[in-house]
Every structure is written in C-alpha cells, then in structure tokens.
C-alpha cells in the first residue's frame, strides 16, 4: 500500500504550470567558450549575449558564495522577461547543515535571490551523496521553504535512500521535483521523479563527469524525452553541467536547435 502523508504547506509553492509549458535549455553558468563565440550575438556582456540565444541558465556560484541582491537584480536586468534562472541552494544549507536548523540561512538566501524577480525560475537543491532520506528532516525543511522562496523546487539527491516509493511519495506531497541526473548516482536517478509540476534534466558529462562531451545518439535520446515532457504541458529544464572542458554549450545548442526545428 502506498504511503500517505499528512503534509500541510503553509505557503504552497506556485504551480510550475503557471508558466507556459516550454523547453528551458541552458548550461551551468553563462561563460561563452571561444569555440562558440560565433554561435552567439556579438553585442553585450556574456550574460546578455547568452540570454539572446538561450532561454535559461543555472547559477551555481550561489552554492559556494553569497551574492548581493543588487547583483541578482543586475543579472535580471540584462535578460529578456521570458528568461529564467535556476539558482543552486548554498552548500551551507544542503551540505554543512544537512537541511537541519537552517531557517536563518534560508531567509538570507531568499532575500538575496529576490533580486531576480520574475526571472527566478527554479530553486535547485543538490544534496551530498552521504545525506540519507530522513522523513522528519525532509518534511520540516520542505514545508518551511515555501514561506521564503516562491519558485518551483528541484532536488538532486544522491544517496540511494531517496529513490524508494516512500521517498518519491513524500516529494510528491511536498511539491518537490526530483532532477534526472546523468551519470545517475543510484538506480532510478536518471529519470525525473517526485512532483510532476516541473521536469529537470541535469547532465554532468559521461563517462567522465564534468568533462565528457555527449555524442549524437545520447543527445537524440534526451531530445525525445524532452519533447515528450513538453508535449504533456510540463515546463521542462535541460541543463548541461559538463563545463570543465567546455562541452556544455555545444551540447545545449544541439538540443536547443533540435527543439526549434
């Protein structure tokens, strides 16, 4: 029998369906490698040029350090109204605190990212491989989170305990989507899970994580999955994190161009 959870969200996360169902393709960060300089517009900052070509980007620097609200606001001013930022939760919350006793840290982070305004498209929470699924911790954190942050929430867990029917049911009840990661850190991690209001593919490079370029066959398979998700009316993210050898932008351009064909 499926588990039943009595979860009450004080301020429910806004439904991702309130955004037009779309394919949000991008990379972790907006650095434009020299090899792709001619694939991008020539005028403006790197972010402004990037945002004229891509509909979304993932901010991962927030995982390592704080940014002032004014910094987020300046990034928001440099992109179209339809552009979306996914922002990675600080490691002080996810890795050091393990999602426990971190209300003050969450409030501070929420005040910072508020500078993005309507361009704030998703909150990404990547968990350390050592962090097991604990019912009380998960419910306490994810019930409290919407009080401060009004954006779809995506979690990228890496411990096998997060990929069970009970954990899946809890994430659905809490309106938390589970990212589809490649390489998959555990069985089931390669496909989206949890809440179905948003789909988030996060590809890190395979076989060599952060470095490897994806071949045409892998990208074609991914494109089929993305198209099926968009056809169901679900806002669908596709972020490439294989940036160490500058493979991400080429992979993202391939997916973007295929989706626009």
DSSP string, 98-121: TTSS-HHHHHHHHHHHGGGGGGEE
* Token couple for 62: 């927030």
pLDDT in tens, 185-199: 999 999 999 999 999
The pLDDT value recorded for residue 96 is: 98
Per the model's pLDDT, the better-predicted residue between 79 and 14 turns out to be: 79
DSSP string of 135-155?
HHHHHHHHHHGGGT--S-EEE
Q: pTM, whole model, 2 decimals?
A: 0.92
Asked if residue 7 has pLDDT above 80, the reply is: no
Residue 213 gets the label, from left (phi > 0), alpha (psi -120 to 50) or beta, of beta
Task: Please state, in angstroms and rounded to a whole number, the distance separating the CA atoms of residues 50 and 83.
Answer: 10
Asked if residue 15 has pLDDT above 70, the reply is: no
Q: What is the CATH number of domain 27-207?
A: 3.20.20.410
136-158 mean pLDDT: 97
Task: Please state, in angstroms and rounded to a whole number, the distance separating the CA atoms of residues 130 and 113.
Answer: 27
Asked if residue 131 has pLDDT above 70, the reply is: yes
92-102 mean pLDDT: 98
């Amino acid at each position: 029998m499926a588990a039943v959870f009595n979860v009450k969200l004080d301020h429910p996360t806004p439904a991702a369906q309130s955004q037009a169902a779309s394919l949000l393709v991008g990379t972790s960060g907006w650095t434009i490698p020299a090899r792709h300089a001619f694939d991008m517009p020539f005028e403006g900052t790197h972010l402004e040029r990037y945002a004229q070509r891509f509909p979304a980007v993932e901010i991962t620097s927030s995982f390592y350090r704080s940014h002032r609200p004014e910094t987020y606001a300046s990034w928001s001013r440099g992109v179209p109204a339809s552009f979306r930022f996914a922002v990675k939760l600080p490691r002080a919350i996810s890795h050091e605190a393990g999602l426990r006793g971190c209300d003050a840290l969450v409030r501070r982070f929420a005040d910072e990212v508020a500078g993005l305004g309507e361009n704030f498209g998703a909150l990404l929470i990547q968990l350390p491989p050592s962090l097991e699924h604990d019912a009380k911790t998960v419910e306490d954190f994810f019930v409290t989170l919407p009080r401060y942050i009004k954006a779809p929430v995506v979690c990228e867990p890496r411990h096998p305990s997060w990929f069970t029917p009970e954990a899946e049911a809890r994430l659905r009840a809490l309106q938390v989507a589970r990212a589809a990661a490649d390489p998959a850190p555990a069985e089931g991690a390669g496909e989206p899970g949890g809440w179905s209001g948003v789909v988030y593919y996060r590809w890190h490079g395979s076989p060599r994580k952060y470095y490897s370029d994806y071949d045409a066959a892998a990208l074609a398979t991914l494109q089929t999955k993305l198209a099926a998700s968009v056809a169901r009316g679900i806002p669908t993210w596709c972020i490439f994190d294989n940036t160490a050898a500058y493979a991400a932008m080429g992979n993202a351009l391939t997916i973007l161009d295929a989706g626009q064909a």
